[in-house]
């Protein structure tokens, strides 16, 4: 089954992120802390997110059929009226 790993370029240490089911299509959040991916760990393809600092993993979309997750561009707002 496909799994997701992260490579630390400085130390060359490899860390396995997932372990249950088929895990595919990882995508980094703009903050660099979160990773979204598709997992079949529940029996259907669902969208999951993991916080790489805490290791907390949770489903985002629980209906089946998720694929190819993508993050929206980060929006910035000006405090000045204009």
Chain segment 37-69, per-residue pLDDT in tens: 999 998 899 999 999 999 999 999 878 788 888
Residue 18 has pLDDT above 60, yes or no: yes
CA-based R_g, the chain, Å? 15
Q: How confident is the model at residue 9 (pLDDT cuts 50, 70, 90)?
A: very high
Residue 82 has pLDDT above 60, yes or no: no
The pair of structure tokens assigned to 12 is 């060359």
pTM of the model: 0.81
Give the count of beta carbons closer than 10 Å to the beta carbon of residue 39: 24
Residue 81 has pLDDT above 70, yes or no: no
Chain segment 24-45, per-residue pLDDT in tens: 999 999 999 999 999 999 889 9
Q: What are the beta bridge partners of residue 6?
A: 15
Strands 23-28 and 34-39: antiparallel
DSSP state of 74: P
**Span 9-26, mean pLDDT?**
96
């Amino acid at each position: 089954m496909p799994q997701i790993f992260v490579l630390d370029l400085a130390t060359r240490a490899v860390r396995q992120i997932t372990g249950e089911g088929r895990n595919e299509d990882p995508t980094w959040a703009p903050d660099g802390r979160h990773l979204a991916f598709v997992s079949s760990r529940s029996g259907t393809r669902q969208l999951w997110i993991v916080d790489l600092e805490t290791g907390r993993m949770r489903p985002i979309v629980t209906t089946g059929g998720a694929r190819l997750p993508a993050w929206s561009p980060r929006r910035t707002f000006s405090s000045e009226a204009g």
